[in-house]
Structure 1
Amino acid sequence: MNTIKQENQIIKKYKSPFIFYFLSIAIPWALWFLSGWFSYKTPYTRTLEWATGISSFAGLLTPLVIALCFMLPIKELRKDFLSRFFNFKSIKREYILIAFFLMLLSILAAQTISLFFGYSTSQFELRGAFTFTSALFPVWFLLIAAPMLEELAWHSYGTDALVSRFNLFNASMIFAVYWAFWHFPLSFINGYYHSNLVESGTLYSLNFVVSMIPFVLIMNWLYYKTNRNILLPVVFHITAGFFNEIFATHPMSKVIQTGLLLIVSLYLVITDKEMFFKRI
C-alpha cells in the first residue's frame, strides 16, 4: 500500500501535460512537413535525401528531448526516470512474455482467421523486403529507433502527465487520438510507411487510426502493471512494428488484428476496472 501511495505521489509531479503535448506535436509537424516537401522535389538529390532523413529523425527525437527538459532539472523526477529502467525484480514473468509475444500471436491469429475469408496462406511467409523506405536511414534501424525514442518520451513523461489529470482510461483515449494526429504529417513524406498506407486505401488508413485505441490501452495497462517500467512498452512497440513487417501480411489481416486487439483491450478494461477508472 505504501508503494502505491509513493507511486501516486510521484505521478502527481508530472504536472505539465498541455505544454509537453503541444510542443511534442508542433515541432515534429513543422519538421515532418518540411521533410515531405524535400521528399517530392525533383531531381531528388543526395542532399535532399539527407535533408529529408535528418528533419524526419529530428521530429521523431523531439518529444524525448522535451521530456528530458521537463525531468532532468528536477532531482525527484530525474531519479524516478532512471529507476524505472531497472525495476524488473517485482515484475511478474507473464507481463514480460506479453510485451515480447502478444503482437506476434495477434498477427498470426489474424492471418489464420483471414484464411476462412479466402486470403492466401502465403501471408505466413517471410516478406524478404521492407514495405517502405526511410530516406537516409535503413528501415531496420527505424523499426527499432522509432518505437524506442517514442516510448522513452511517452512513458517517461507523457503518460504520467496525463494520468496526473485524468483516470487511465480517459488518458489512454486522449493519447490515442493525439497519437493518430501526431503521425499525420508522415503521410506526406514520399515512400514512408504512412504515405504508402494512404495510397493503399481508406479502409487501411482508418484501421491504422482505430488500432491506436487497443494498442494504447494494452500498452498503458502493461506499463502500470509493471510498476511503470519503461523498457517493456519499448519492447511491446518494437515487436508491433517488427512482426507486422516481416510477414507477407495482407492489409485485411491487419484489420482483423485490430479487431482481436480490441477484444483483448476490452477484456483488460473490464477485468481491471479499478486501475483504468480510479483517479490517483
Structure 2
Amino acid sequence: MGISVSQSKAVSLYKHPKRFFILSTLIPLVLWFVAGFISRITPYEDKFLNIASILAFIGLLAPIVVAFIFISKEPRLRRDVNGRFFNFREVKPLYLLLACLIMPVSILLAQSISLLFGYSHKQFIITGEFTFSSGIFPVWFLLIIAPVLEELAWHTYGTDSIHTKYNIFKTSLLFAVYWGIWHLPLTTIRDYYQSNVVEESWIYGLNFLVSIIPYVLLMNWLYYKTGRNIIITIIFHITAGFFNELFAPHPDSKIIQTVLLCGLATMVVLKEKQLFFQHQ
C-alpha cells in the first residue's frame, strides 16, 4: 500500500529541495573543515578539540535552522509538521517496535555471526567506554542530541522535499548519497567517529557509506508507513548510534551488520513495491 492521498498533498507543500540542501550542506561544510583544521593544531591540546567541537555542533544545527526558516514562512507547513509529532494514532505498534529493535538486533546478530569466524565474545560486553571523543560535549549527549537535531531537519523538510520530485525509492537513494557526502567533512575532525573509522581502515570508511543506503531505505519505510511520524525516525536514528557504542563490536561485525541490513532492506522494498515505486 502506498501513501495516502492526504499525505501526497501534504508532501507537495515542500517545494524547495535545492535551496534546502544547498544551505544545509554549505554551512556545515565550512564549519566542519575549520573545526577539522583547529582540532589538528599541534601540539595537540584539549582546548583545540573543545573549540572544534563547538564549531562542529553549530554545523550540526545548520540544517534544522534552515528547515525552521522554510517551515515558519508557510502556515500549512507548520500545521503539517506539528501534526506529525503527535499522530501516534496512525502508528501501528509493530512499526514502533521495529523502530526500536531493528538496529540493536542487527548489531547483536552481526556480532553473533562474527563468532563463527573466530571473533571475540568480548564484543557483547558493555564496557561503558566509547570509540570516539567529542570535545567539550559528552559522547552520550551527542549520541542522543545529534539524531534528534538531524531528524528535525531531514524529516521535517528534507526528505519530503525530495519526494515532491521522485518516488520514495529514488528519494531514499538520493538522500543516502547526499547524507554520505554530508558526513565526509567530519572525517577531518580529530578523534570524531567518522575520523576514527577512516583512520582505522579505508574499508571501514567505505562500509560506513554503504551502510547508509539500507539504513535510509528502512528509516523511510517506517517514516511513510507511520503517517510520516517524525518521532519514529528519531527513535530509529538514536538506536543506530547508541547500540553500536553500547557494545564493543569489532569493525568487521559492522560490515556483517551492513550485509544484514542490505538483505532486510531488499526484502522490505520487494514487499512494499507500491509504497516505494508509486509516483508522487
TM bin (shorter chain): over 0.9
1:202: Cα distance to partner?
1.3
TM-score normalised over the length of structure 2:
0.97
Equivalent residue number for residue 35 of structure 1: 35
1:48: Cα distance to partner?
3.0
Structure 1 residue runs without a partner (length 5+): none
1:23: Cα distance to partner?
0.9
Residues in 2 aligned to 1:234 and 1:118: alpha-carbon distance in whole angstroms? 35
Equivalent residue number for residue 20 of structure 1: 20
Any idea what SS the aligned residue of 2:232 has?
Answer: helix
C-alpha RMSD over aligned residues? 1.3
Spell out structure 1 runs of 4+ moving beyond 6 A: none
Equivalent residue number for residue 197 of structure 1: 197
1:41: Cα distance to partner?
1.2
Residues in 1 aligned to 2:176 and 2:73: alpha-carbon distance in whole angstroms? 29
Equivalent residue number for residue 242 of structure 2: 242
1:263: Cα distance to partner?
0.5
User: Is the deviation greater in 35-44 or in 169-178?
Assistant: 35-44
- Letter in structure 2 aligned against 1:10: A
1:127: Cα distance to partner?
2.4
Equivalent residue number for residue 266 of structure 1: 266
1:175 and 2:178 correspond:
no
- Superposition map of 1:69-218 within 5 A: 69-218=69-218
1:128: Cα distance to partner?
2.1
1:45: Cα distance to partner?
4.9
1:42: Cα distance to partner?
2.8
Residues in 2 aligned to 1:65 and 1:279: alpha-carbon distance in whole angstroms? 30
1:44: Cα distance to partner?
4.5
Structure 2 residue runs without a partner (length 5+): none
1:50: Cα distance to partner?
3.8
1:43: Cα distance to partner?
4.1
Any idea what SS the aligned residue of 2:177 has?
Answer: helix
1:54: Cα distance to partner?
1.5
Residues in 2 aligned to 1:51 and 1:30: alpha-carbon distance in whole angstroms? 15
- Letter in structure 2 aligned against 1:209: L
CA displacement 1:160-213 (0-9 Å, x = unmatched): 000000010001000111000000010000010011001110111110000000
1:73: Cα distance to partner?
1.4
Any idea what SS the aligned residue of 2:55 has?
Answer: helix
Q: How many residues align?
A: 279
Q: Does the 8 A contact of 2:125 with 2:247 survive in 1? A: yes
Residues in 1 aligned to 2:261 and 2:50: alpha-carbon distance in whole angstroms? 37
Residues in 1 aligned to 2:202 and 2:31: alpha-carbon distance in whole angstroms? 25
- Letter in structure 1 aligned against 2:72: L
Q: Does the 8 A contact of 2:49 with 2:190 survive in 1? A: no
TM-score normalised over the length of structure 1:
0.97
Q: Does the 8 A contact of 2:11 with 2:160 survive in 1? A: yes
Residues in 1 aligned to 2:90 and 2:168: alpha-carbon distance in whole angstroms? 22
- Letter in structure 2 aligned against 1:217: L
Any idea what SS the aligned residue of 1:15 has?
Answer: coil
